[in-house]
Amino acid sequence: MPHRLLVGILSLLLALPSATWAQNKTITGKVTNEKDGAPLPGISVTPKGGSGGTSTSSEGTFSITIPANTNILVFSGVGYESADVNIADQLVVNVSLKPSSVNMNEVVVIGYGTQRRREVTGAIAKVTSDKITALPTPSFEASLQGRAPGVQVVQGSGLAGSGSVVRIRGIGSISAGGDPLYVIDGVPIIADPFQRGNSGGQNQNPLATINPNDIESIEILKDAGAAGIYGSRGANGVVLITTKKGKGGKPLFNYNNRLGATTWALRPKFLNGPEWLQMRQEAWENDGNMGKAPLPGGLTWEQAEKNNTDWWKELTTTGFINQHNASMTAGNKWLKSYVGASYAKDESYIKGNAYERLGARANLDFQALKNLKFNLNLSWNNGNNHRVPAAWAGGLGDAMSAALPIYPIYNDDKTYYRLGANPVLRRDQTKWRNTENKYWGSAGAEWQPIRDLTIKAVGSIDYLTSFDDQFESAIYLNNDRPGIAKRYVFHNTNMSGTITASYNWNPLDDHRFSFLAGSEIQEFTKESFKDDIYFYTDKPFWENKSLYKHVRDSMVSNGIKKMEESDAFTFVSFFGRVNYTFKDRYVLQLLGRIDGSSKFGPNNRYGFFPAASAAWIISEEDFVKDIDWIRFLKVRASYGIVGNSDIPSGAYYSKISRGGQPFAFNPTLFPDNIGNPDLKWETMRNFDLALEFSLKNNRISGEIAYYNKTTVDQLVEGAIQPNSGFSNAWRNLDGGKIVNRGIELSLTAKVIETKDLSWTVGGNISRNYNEVISLGKLGADALSGGSNDTRIIPGYPVGTNYLVRFAGVDPNDGLPIWLDLNGKKTKTFSLDYRMPVGSVIPDYVGGINSNLSYKGFDLGVLFTYAIGGNLYDGSAKRQDGVITDWVIREDLKDRWRKPGDIAKYPRLTMNTSTYNGLSSEWQYNSTLFLYDADFLRLRELTLSYTLPSDLFKSGRIRGVKVFATGMNLLTFTKYPGGDPEIARDFDKAQDRNMSPNVTYLTPPQQKAFTFGVNVNF
């Protein structure tokens, strides 16, 4: 009896799905472009109010099996207006879609799912693949600049592979990371720029290995209504990266390339040899001295006057850009696939510096049963960064600091000059490679046991191997060694698993519910050798791999080296979301997430992060439908709590480390961290209110939004009582409060729209107000931005410049005039007179774009800008200050020389005591070196031509487009030090948060001229 009962139950369970699928009908048809009748591949076809769906083939055809009682199919695709088509009793349905630059029915990616844009209740900005690949930027995230309101992107420098500082609606963190969470195809990735600190004057950029051509779209989640589903990691926003997927139909191939040249966008100008000598002599005589001024570098005046080395010219060149991408997409009823491969080598304008990337990707979707499908995503990317030292580490940084124009490259005997900075010696006789291999894979299953219920499970692994190789030749060492090879190694393993269940429930025609519940786990480990592996040899390790293996194995076997776990953390999460839509015009969303993290103490290991959001689609109301000029109108609002957990692992517990003062020639152990079991999540309360609109039949569209974000319980690594035995410790800031509030506006207008000619203009502008409301009991010097003269001070933005105010030059004696704390003029310089000054964060940032199309020609333009900010040049203290052994900038020509002169800079001196109270040129922290950072930049200028399709009717080729692009062609700025839009290397997250407006010998951005071809066949 029990046996028969079990068989009966199993039979019933097996029959349920088949019964569900039995009462179906199959609809076929074709989707074309209303403008020219061309077939449209990749258009989504779904039953309205139901689940499942398909996409059109390369010929625009489709076939979909749906429940027999389905009456409406929804046709939607990127760049086209969505259409709800009543199929009634039809089995063949042909549809024409109208192109649209604004599509409120467009499907956008949200956390753990998708949603029609018209029903989205959160703040989401979408950037499509054509914008991401438009420019030859060092890394894909730099292409987001000027494309999305509320998103500030500051490209780090002109170094190949350089990363960017990305800020979404301001910064509310102090010591915790301020960068957004990056998610690829639903899987959070590690994007920590400090895995190698700031080695060589450049932070590591893990995002540089990602091929921009693999990206289908990027969605930026900006408020709690959108990012809240990511809970503890959503405070700084979330960047969702969706890679390209296979489409139905026969195989389609694409090949595109880009070739071109690079140089610098703007560079600082320095004095040549004779000018430098003249100014040094003037400073010498101003100090009351007689005769010739002493010279650095062991040179006599006779020797110095023979030299006039242009170190900038010696270290720079015209770089070459060489990029190639090939891909294939194909699909049938059961299997859809996308396969791509890429190669790129982008040389910067600095000799010897290049980033080389080789990669492959395969995305497979397999429909095993009508209600069961699997997907497999695999990618491999190899990034080879041909490094050069920069900034404070030398190289081009030397050309902007200690490599004087009076120094020669070679001595008279043709040996290298060594008595002063010689960056050519280092460039020629050293080699540096940073090689990363990133293996990424995810496998998922999607099962629909009954109609409207979908269960998904995804597992992924993100594995990174990183080798930092440095080699110094025998000539560079200048001793009896043959040379030395060094290698620094680490491996990252990031594993995650997610399971979700979603259910669509439509109890009545006017009521639609969507439920999501899920759980996620993430585990990260980093293994590394504590120090470098080295050997005296005449080749770098990458040229002699067998030698490296022998040296490594010998050190390991002898106990000298050991691969150890240097970092690890775990996340476990539970989340849920409910969406309710009434009459297609009122939308409500509730969500919540519980996160647990090994980064926090046992007393606060778990946190709960809820959010609520709603939207009212006003244009669906009867009182608006009769207003012809309103096509779409929506108000949305959200409020929620999100968190930040981006701190180092192990910050909450006491640690004992090895490496203290040796005892009897043996290493010792020492206390390395003071524990804090109460350490908890940083929390941000986020409010958002916005109006979305489309007017005049989509001729004018846009969005205006207001937000208010309040951050409390800030995670800080600050000074503590000296009697504790520790200088710093991690804790939550008791009573701390930081506010970001602002307004965003984006607007797009179709100025001209005819069959052959169209012109669209648009842009966005964002205003963010940032203020530290309270720091509890902490003072101004308790939290500093590294060596960048920035502080956290109540009443001012995060990272305010903390400087002595410069009040001009006394025309009588040429001495600088300062302001004391009371605003009274004085000629005595004192760090006690420092005040919060300037604006670290610009008042306004944004972009202006234009696209003009005539028949097959397209002209695209993008301007980016910043208004109201300041830039602090930490290197100008030496370049435009006291005359020392540094180069001198040309703007110092505007200096006091005789009584009565009205000048920007004081009289020249070689003695800091000339400026009363100044103890060192490094302490010259004043507003004299705080500059207006407003700029307007021609970020992109692209001219393209699509060849007529008639040329390829009889061949395999489906289309060809040729293009030419200029990047950073023009920059308008008042900053005299070169490029106003750069961010220096940073020591840690606190430095990065507090000093985004600080530059120090930073290589300016690249200017690029490229051309290429895009072929579909």
Q: Over the stretch 560-609, which tens digit does the pLDDT of each residue have?
A: 888 999 899 999 999 999 999 999 999 999 999 999 999 998 899 999 99
Between residues 760 and 783, the one the model is more confident about:
760
- Residue among 78, 83, 46, 49 nearest 62 (CA): 46
What does the DSSP 8-state code read for residue 961? E
Q: Check: CB of residue 471 under 8 Å from CB of residue 526.
A: no
* CA–centroid distance for 474 within its chain: 40
Dist CA 638 CA 222 (whole Å):
11
pLDDT at position 103, please? Answer: 62
- Residue among 503, 496, 539, 542 nearest 519 (CA): 496
- Residue among 263, 315, 564 nearest 421 (CA): 315
- Residue among 712, 765, 759 nearest 738 (CA): 712
Same fold, 24-97 and 133-245+255-259+317-797+839-867+973-999: no
pLDDT tens, residue by residue, 100-150: 655 666 778 898 988 888 899 999 999 999 999 999 998 999 999 999 999
Count Cβ atoms below 10 Å from residue 322 Cβ, excluding itself.
Answer: 16
User: For residue 700, is pLDDT > 90?
Assistant: yes
Count Cβ atoms below 10 Å from residue 825 Cβ, excluding itself.
Answer: 12
Sign of the C-alpha dihedral computed for residues 724, 729, 734 and 739 taken in this order:
positive
User: For residue 954, is pLDDT > 50?
Assistant: yes
Q: Check: CB of residue 899 under 8 Å from CB of residue 976.
A: no
Looking at the chain, the number of H-run helices and the number of E-run strands are 13, 52
Q: Check: CB of residue 138 under 8 Å from CB of residue 161.
A: yes
Which percentage of the chain shows pLDDT scores above 90?
A: 70
Angle at 737 between CA 732 and CA 740, to 5 degrees: 125
- One-letter identity of residue 901: D
Between residues 19 and 413, the one the model is more confident about:
413
pLDDT at position 67, please? Answer: 85
Q: If DSSP codes are grouped into helix, strand and coil, which group holds residue 277?
A: helix
Residue 959 φ then ψ, to 5°: 180, 150
Both tokens of 780, joined, read 């101004």
pLDDT tens, residue by residue, 413-468: 999 999 999 999 999 999 999 999 999 999 999 999 998 999 999 999 999 999 99
Most confident of 58-72, 200-214, 331-345: 331-345
Dist CA 177 CA 520 (whole Å):
22
**N- to C-terminal Cα separation, the chain:** 64
Residue spans of the domains in the chain: they are 24-97, 133-245+255-259+317-797+839-867+973-999
pLDDT at position 78, please? Answer: 63
Dist CA 909 CA 279 (whole Å):
9
* CA distances for 323 relative to 241, 346, 380, 743, angstroms: 21, 8, 17, 39
24-97 homologous superfamily: Carboxypeptidase-like, regulatory domain (2.60.40.1120)
pLDDT tens, residue by residue, 802-853: 999 999 999 999 999 999 999 999 999 999 999 999 888 899 999 999 999 9
Of 6-10, 365-369, 886-890, the least confident: 6-10
- Residue among 808, 921, 907, 924 nearest 284 (CA): 907
User: For residue 5, is pLDDT > 60?
Assistant: no
User: For residue 6, is pLDDT > 90?
Assistant: no
Q: What is the mean pLDDT of residues 309-325?
A: 97
Q: What is the mean pLDDT of residues 54-70?
A: 83
pLDDT tens, residue by residue, 709-726: 999 999 998 767 666 767
Determine whether 935 is exposed, middle or buried from the number of CB atoms within 10 Å of its CB (0-12, 13-18, 19+).
buried
Outline where 373-430 has alpha helix (H).
396-399, 423-429
pLDDT tens, residue by residue, 903-914: 999 999 999 999
Both tokens of 510, joined, read 């006017």
Q: What is the mean pLDDT of residues 155-162?
A: 89
Q: If DSSP codes are grouped into helix, strand and coil, which group holds residue 987?
A: coil
Both tokens of 65, joined, read 């099996």
Q: Check: CB of residue 389 under 8 Å from CB of residue 397.
A: yes
Dist CA 97 CA 103 (whole Å):
11
Residues 6+ apart with CB under 8 A from 608: 592, 593, 594
**This prediction's pTM:** 0.88
User: For residue 18, is pLDDT > 60?
Assistant: no
pLDDT at position 108, please? Answer: 86
pLDDT tens, residue by residue, 621-647: 999 988 989 999 999 999 999 999 999
Dist CA 703 CA 695 (whole Å):
12
Beta partners for 581?
512, 587
pLDDT at position 36, please? Answer: 61
pLDDT tens, residue by residue, 174-230: 999 999 999 999 889 988 888 887 788 888 888 999 999 999 999 999 999 999 999
- Structure-token match 């001024």, residue found: 293
pLDDT at position 81, please? Answer: 73
* CA distances for 866 relative to 178, 186, 851, 937, angstroms: 20, 33, 22, 9
Q: If DSSP codes are grouped into helix, strand and coil, which group holds residue 844?
A: strand
Q: What is the mean pLDDT of residues 695-700?
A: 88
User: H-helix or E-strand containing 489?
Assistant: strand 483-508
Would you place residue 71 in the very low, low, confident or very high pLDDT band (cuts 50, 70, 90)? confident
Determine whether 23 is exposed, middle or buried from the number of CB atoms within 10 Å of its CB (0-12, 13-18, 19+).
exposed
Q: Check: CB of residue 808 under 8 Å from CB of residue 817.
A: yes
User: For residue 740, is pLDDT > 50?
Assistant: yes
Q: Check: CB of residue 591 under 8 Å from CB of residue 574.
A: no
- Residue among 744, 752, 747 nearest 693 (CA): 747
Dump the DSSP string for 429-469. Answer: HEEEEEEEEEEEEEEEEEEEEETTEEEEEEEEEEEEEEEEE
Q: In the predicted model, what is the mean pLDDT of the chain?
A: 90
Give the CATH number of domain 133-245+255-259+317-797+839-867+973-999.
2.40.170.20
Both tokens of 94, joined, read 């042909």
- Residue among 791, 788, 800 nearest 841 (CA): 800
Residues 6+ apart with CB under 8 A from 695: 629, 630, 631, 701
User: For residue 475, is pLDDT > 70?
Assistant: yes
Angle at 461 between CA 455 and CA 464, to 5 degrees: 160
Conformational region of residue 480, where left means phi above 0, alpha means psi within -120 to 50, and beta covers everything else: alpha
586-597 and 564-582 beta bridge pairing: antiparallel
Dist CA 921 CA 884 (whole Å):
9
pLDDT at position 22, please? Answer: 43
Of 342-351, 534-543, 777-786, the least confident: 777-786
